[in-house]
A and B are shown apart, each in its own frame.
Chain A
Amino acid sequence: MQHNNFKVTPLPRICLISNGEADADQGKVLLAQLNLLPETLPCMVQIREKRLEARELFNLAERARAIKLPAGSLLLCNDRLDIALAAGLDGVHLPENACPADKLRTFAPNLIFGCSIHSLEALHIAERSGADYLLFGPVFDTPSKRRYGASQGLHKLGEICMATSLPVYALGGIIPDNAALCMEEGAYGAAGLSVFQDTARLVETLEQFYSIICQ
């Protein structure tokens, strides 16, 4: 178990979010991604499978949990603290419209709580509710996020990072080529879905990210 590790070791700089298609692929892509993570590159992995029934999500989370991840990696479930707890994950990532973190935290004092934010207002709410890290986006235009509205841009990312001492992951169209721009704005790390989808190139992509983010 890696509980509480984040309090002594820093959070990973890369956040890999599952593709949301585990209903069609039985979680094959996610499990393949987890198995491919290089030993030296810790990742925060968020299981985000909104189309799965709770039972299927729980089963997938348990299978993911059983995979040995690089030291310092963290496995989180999107939205559902109950699934994260039941499957023994490291934390939960709460969308902006999730149950408030402070109402859940009592039941899981050792888990990591992340919050998605899309505005300064949401940032303050997340801070007050005791979030451990923030996910801000979409920074750049990306097909998977287009339905959530226009991209917010680097400037807004900078504003958010300036306004908080919490680690902020930039999300939305982040690729190794633009990751440095996000870091210059004060981002703690990079998060993505599609950029990690091609499992044949996953290790290479992670290495590229790490060489840019951790230099």
Chain B
Amino acid sequence: MIPSSPFLCVITDEAFCPITLAEEALKGGAAMIQLRHKTASGSQLYSWAVEIRKRCRQYNALCIINDRVDIALACDADGVHLGQDDLPAAAARKLLGNKRIIGISASCAEEALQAEKDGADYIGFGHIYPTISKQKEHAPLGPDNLQKSVESISLPVIAIGGINAENAPLLISRGASAVAVISAVSRAKEPSKAAYELLCAIKTGRQ
């Protein structure tokens, strides 16, 4: 189940050990960990996923696998996150059943609406602010577009892209159900502390 009050999602950073990062993020209060590694082998992904899922259960957090529906099934993850270049949501749903979560990346209200129609459980919307974590094709969307998307669909929207403890409260107040970060946690001196500070910021944004 996706938490009903605003939460923090931490996505793994390819430059760091995903297990350590997940552990730090969970200690800091992340309620969702997304294992994302585009270049790792299936065997490597599977072994990371098993370890991360184990730790997520200990912390009662959700373990989400990016792109690989097969790995998500094999490690009994809580769900998958799919980009617009990944397996279509409808195809993924057939494989995952109704109990597992499907998140879809969207960068405009149309994509968000389509994802909702396709049976997604949440939308990852971004990037909201400029970010160094991923190569981007479009300009940052900003809080206004985030709010538009939130208002156009009934699914939880997770804001992503360039989010930190300073700008997180605004995004929550604009209707985001969560914020997702990579570098704000992975590149922090103390990742667990950074996660905790983000979580506190998220809570101050609650209306």
**Bound together:** yes
> Residues of A with Cβ closer than 8 Å to B?
53-56, 58, 79-83, 85-86, 94-100, 103-104, 107
Complex Cα spacing A80 to B41, Å:
11
The segment from B12-20, B83-91, B173-181 found at the interface with A is B83-91
Pick from A53, A80, A85: contact of B85, CB below 8 A: A53
Residues of A with C-beta under 8 A to B71: 99
Report yes or no: B43 in contact with A97, Cβ–Cβ below 8 A: yes
Q: How many interface contacts (CB-CB < 8 Å) are there between A and B?
A: 67
Q: A54-B67, A55-B84 are in contact. Are A82 and B95 (CB under 8 A)?
A: yes
Report yes or no: B43 in contact with A98, Cβ–Cβ below 8 A: yes
> Residues of B with Cβ closer than 8 Å to A?
41-46, 67-71, 73-75, 84-88, 91-92, 94-95
Complex Cα spacing A95 to B129, Å:
39
Report yes or no: A83 in contact with B46, Cβ–Cβ below 8 A: no
Residues of A with C-beta under 8 A to B95: 82, 85-86, 107
Prevailing SS type, chain B contact patch: helix
A54 to chain B, nearest CB (A): 5
- For the complex with contacts A53-B85, A80-B70, A95-B42, 4 further pairs of A-B residues with Cβ separation under 8 Å are A82-B73, A86-B69, A99-B42, A107-B95
Among B75, B88, B94, the one with the most A-chain Cβ atoms within 10 Å of its Cβ is B88
B120 to chain A, nearest CB (A): 15
Report yes or no: A86 in contact with B94, Cβ–Cβ below 8 A: yes
Q: Which 7 A-B pairs have the closest CB atoms?
A: A82-B69, A97-B41, A99-B42, A53-B85, A98-B42, A82-B70, A86-B91
Pick from A54, A97, A98: contact of B86, CB below 8 A: A54
Complex Cα spacing A55 to B42, Å:
17
Complex Cα spacing A56 to B85, Å:
7
A145 to chain B, nearest CB (A): 17
A1 to chain B, nearest CB (A): 15
Among B45, B87, B94, the one with the most A-chain Cβ atoms within 10 Å of its Cβ is B87
Question: Could you list 25 A-B pairs, sorted by A, with CB under 8 Å?
Answer: A54-B67, A54-B87, A55-B85, A55-B86, A58-B87, A58-B88, A58-B91, A80-B42, A80-B68, A82-B95, A83-B87, A86-B69, A86-B91, A86-B92, A94-B42, A97-B41, A97-B42, A98-B43, A99-B43, A99-B45, A99-B74, A100-B43, A103-B46, A103-B75, A104-B70
